[in-house]
Chains A and B, each alone.
Chain A
Amino acid sequence: MIGKLLRMDSQRRRAMTTAYVVAEPIRCVECGICNFNCPLGIDVRGHARLGQPVADRYCLTCGECVARCPRGTLRLESSRVFDPAPKEGKG
């Protein structure tokens, strides 16, 4: 049981560290629901309307903004930073 919980926790941590919030600006109407629901007060909207990924070092990638946006502007995208490096001669 404890092993299962630890595994879930480690999966969750991995998801949180390897993803970041990206935006599709055409869907954004600057309503501010994302900012209002961000537990850290990050200006998600400021990024979203310009189509920039939320590259704030405090972002937990908790997904609150993604889930609350009424227009589907935001999504979590996995970062390739933690992927194993491609072997030489391939890719």
Chain B
Amino acid sequence: MSRIAATVVMQFAQLLLVLAIAPGVTGLVRKVKARLLSRHGPPVLQPYRDLAKLMRKEALMAENASWLYRGAPAVILALIWLAAGLIPSFTIDLPLALAADLLVIIGLLAAMRFVQALAAMDVGTSFGGIGASREMMFASLAEPATLMVVYTMSVFVHSSSLPAMASFMLENDVGLRVSFALALLALVMVAIAENARIPIDNPATHLELTMVHEAMVLEYSGPHLALMEAAAMLKLVAYLSLIAAIFAPWGLAPPAAGAGAIALGLATYVGKLAFGAIALGVFEVSIAKMRVFRVAEFLGGALLLGLLGTIFLYVSQNL
């Protein structure tokens, strides 16, 4: 009984942890970028203050906004929160993750995107439409690439469940494999595109013709915008945790672990997120944004890498 209680506690701790840490990760990325550009930059904790400030402001809505516009932020945040809560962050011991494999997580992310694109079209402005339409175009290439990564991993692990993948990588001496490197690269490219980072989209821009994600939340303000921003921050954490759980599961606390293992898991998780945030910041300042229609080539490349990963894995398993 205490065992079940422990896993339930772990699950809720995980849900709280991802929500609490998400603004910090975004703050760290911004700080790193600012430092590399020789600016002081806002403090790492600034996103928390921004969210609090937005919550205190009144919501200014367009006259023709419907219930979908008002309800979407909560649904979007709930979907990405659940998805992030299903990805092993500091422990493998997540009861919910057992009942939702990697395909379900991809499904939740797709559902989030669907609602977000609809919310963008609700007011009937051209910027909302442009953002939604481009987001769906990116997704159409990102999803096959993600599936190829899942396929490669599941050929190797014989499971599409994330806890199973993480424990397999931990328990077996997997070694360095070309196919994993290709899958990792594909997943990183997808993550960059899905999180609207440079070179796909610029999270800092408000130049109308280049923005995608920002265009979709353009009409939002006040508490609604706070929820939308929190969802975007959680999405970044979800992708970083996903990459970490599959390709760098070191330090994850095994089931029924003691306090020491859990502390280690927490410490390594924070370390991994920090590493991911710094790497993202460095990457973003060292590359220029690409034109919208080059994104198709970028994500097509990710798809190709995913396919190559599968082929290499087949070849290496049968030689």
On whether the two chains bind one another, the answer is: no
Query: Which residues on B are within 8 Å of A, measured CB to CB?
Result: none
